[in-house]
Chains A and B, each alone.
Chain A
Amino acid sequence: MDKMPEEKTREPIIELVDVWKIYKMGEVEVKALRGLSLDIYPQEFVAIMGPSGSGKSTLMNMIGCLDVPTKGKVYLENKDISQLYESDLAQIRGQIIGFVFQTFNLMPSLSALENVMLPMTFQGVDRRDREKRGRNLLTMVGLEQRMNHKPTELSGGQQQRVAIARALANDPDVILADEPTGNLDSKTGKEVMDMLTRLHREEGKTIVMVTHDPSLSTYVERIIQIMDGKTTEHLNHNHKYGGIEDEKK
């Protein structure tokens, strides 16, 4: 049981075809990705796992439109982004992808609410709409009492919840989470994972999580293993919520 029949008929939301990423470090060429191909389908919850140095981060950057491949194609919602310039990439990132980082990466000078409003600012959303949506999102992640707190006044778990609210600001189809629990204790880590799971199940978000923590694998439907710049993927039979069959039907 390698792939579900229905997946073959659906269009992937993210598609990488023979992607190479080669960094030049002085004289040495580092091949971070070596002809990697993968498909991620709408409303999937996928984990990308692999040891450090495996090309995990580079892959995440490709999926997140933060970087373009040296060779190969990256399709995001059927659009080839491998040839785009930074400004177009920025626009796409802002609309289609929401980032959740290991180190939260909130703007220290802005309040929780302002942080959530920031992605909408760059999309030119009207101030009133921005503020309304920002409040709704923070309420959704349970921080309605902390709207005007600065990141430094919030706990790690709370900061990550602000980051999740921020990731949702422009209602993206894909949430890209890079070690989302890496800086959290197990209890708050679990809260964050539950929140992502809820987004996946209730809001139908496609969630791609990069992690090296095997214990998180119970949350996801599919694990993409990356090793030496190539992937080996398999379905996750340990899925906490059951198989993909249950999920998608």
Chain B
Amino acid sequence: MIDDFFKISLRGLKNKGIRSWLTMVGIFVGIAAIVSLISLGEGLQNAMFEQFEMLGYDLIYVMPGSSLASVYTTSSKLTDQDLEIIKDVRGVEIAGGFVTKLAQIEYRGEIEYAWVSGMGVETQEIFLDGTGIEMVKGRDRFREGDTYKAAVGYEYWSGNVFEKPVGVGDRIKINGKKFEIIGEISRIGNSDDDRNIYILMDTAEELFDVENEYITIMARVKPNYDIEKVADEIKKEIRRDRGLKEGEEDFQVQTMQQLVDSVSIILDAVQAVVIGIAFISLFVGGLGIMNTMYTSVLERTQEIGVMKAVGAKNSDILVLFMIESGTIGLVGGLVGCVIGGGLSKGVEYIAALLLDQVLIKASLTPELIIGSLAFSFIVGCISGMLPARQASQLKPVDALRYE
């Protein structure tokens, strides 16, 4: 019996033609927005996780300042003493420090500004081992005594910073001092990190006139140690050394997991806002369906009367109209999924063209599609509820007489 109900309802929809489609536009937009945003958001998150994974999950980062935002502005410092403390913590395999400063880079008369990182030979081991980052050309490592030698990031040797690519054997000036390029670093994936220049710690201290000051200390945890526990231990030891109470730290200890979590929170928040907007669109779409259904009830009042005269119960009429509005929602959702999927695939394609690397992969999961369809159907049903109720409660006498 229900299949006949579907037939009758769908005929009703078909007869309305363009009006049925127009009604669905609100649902198209809402579902298309939800599908494209969720799939892109998830794709972005996945891409981000891949990046983080490249930086290594067994690494602990110690930085000055109480939060990520204050790393470069804080007055607190990380020193050799901290480095020694970290090295002594149980579970730490090796540890080494970075110093990073903004510097003026000159190549063949052109001037740019970029971050320059100084690292010890030991730090370089952590940095280049197990993170997927490597020196792809020239030397594969800095050696002790490589003063005024530098390795450049991808952006330099691919020619994106200066007019000509800067590669092994070229000479550049950093803050006016001459450097020889001895290595090229593999692509990391984001243009900020790929604009970095690496030099040895001794050179950096001389160049920037700093001593005993690190912007970051990296520590690699031995296998089979709980990274979070080691991180906590490091925090405790430095705190004790500095005579600080818990919660008053002027430094921070980050693990990859924490970084991933904090970025996820931001991404989720952004997604929530945008999806909130999409839901408003769906709400408006639902009102559109409701409006159309009310019109439909009016237009077909006499039909409803006839159906009641030939034995349709109130519940039959209710079901008929609910099927109709549910179908509007479902078809709207279907088209919305196609549009949304196409949109996110399009963004993926354009992003790949622009970055000439597949970074964002739209993640169109079956759960997302099925969920969206179910949701649009429910929106349709809910919107149709009141009009369908009105239809079902029409008195047959009045309905038959209506013209």
Contact = CB atoms under 8 A, between A and B. Distances in A.
Nearest to A87: B313
B233 interface: no
Interface stretch (A8-16, A39-47, A103-111): A103-111
B54 interface: no
B395 A67 contact: yes
Contacts of A70: none
A118 B7 CA distance: 11
Interface string A77-99: 00000000011001101110001
Interface string A56-75: 00000100101100000000
B390 interface: no
Q: Which of B5, B15, B306 has most chain A Cβ within 10 Å? A: B306
Contacts of B56: none
A114 B307 CA distance: 12
A118 B3 CA distance: 12
Interface in B305-336: 305-316
A64 B306 CA distance: 12
B309 A109 contact: no
A170 interface: yes
B303 interface: yes
B313 A118 contact: no
Contact of A119 (B15, B305, B310, B396): B310
B400 interface: yes
A166 interface: yes
B310 A93 contact: yes
A149 to B, nearest CB: 15
Given A66-B397, A105-B400, A121-B4, A90 B12 contact: no
B311 A110 contact: no
Contact of B313 (A61, A91, A110, A119): A91
A99 B312 CA distance: 13
A166 B11 contact: no
Contacts of A99: 309-310
A122 interface: yes
A123 interface: yes
A122 B307 contact: yes
A109 B316 contact: no
B296 to A, nearest CB: 12
Contact of B14 (A109, A123, A169): A109
Contacts of A5: none
Prevailing SS type, chain B contact patch: helix
Contact of A67 (B3, B11, B12, B397): B397
B352 interface: no
Contacts of A26: none
A103 to B, nearest CB: 9
A214 interface: no
Contact of B310 (A67, A114, A118): A118
Interface residues of A, number: 31
Contacts of A117: 4
A90 B11 contact: no
Contact of A170 (B302, B311, B395): B311
Given A61-B397, A124-B1, A107 B303 contact: yes
A132 to B, nearest CB: 15
Given A107-B8, A110-B8, A66 B313 contact: no
Contacts of A108: 15, 303
Contacts of B1: 121, 124
A169 B310 CA distance: 9
A119 B400 contact: no
Contacts of B316: 90, 122
A127 B11 CA distance: 18
B8 A87 contact: no
Interface in B1-32: 1, 3-5, 7-8, 11-12, 14-15
Nearest to A111: B11
B8 A93 contact: no
Interface string B211-234: 000000000000000000000000
Nearest to A109: B11
Nearest to A118: B310
B12 A109 contact: yes
Contact of A105 (B4, B8, B302, B311): B302
Interface of B: 1, 3-5, 7-8, 11-12, 14-15, 302-303, 305-316, 395-397, 400
The 6 A-B residue pairs with the shortest CB-CB distance, nearest first, are A94-B311, A109-B11, A119-B310, A122-B311, A105-B306, A90-B313
16 contacts: A66-B309, A66-B397, A67-B397, A86-B313, A86-B396, A90-B312, A90-B314, A90-B396, A91-B313, A99-B310, A105-B400, A119-B310, A122-B313, A122-B316, A166-B310, A170-B311
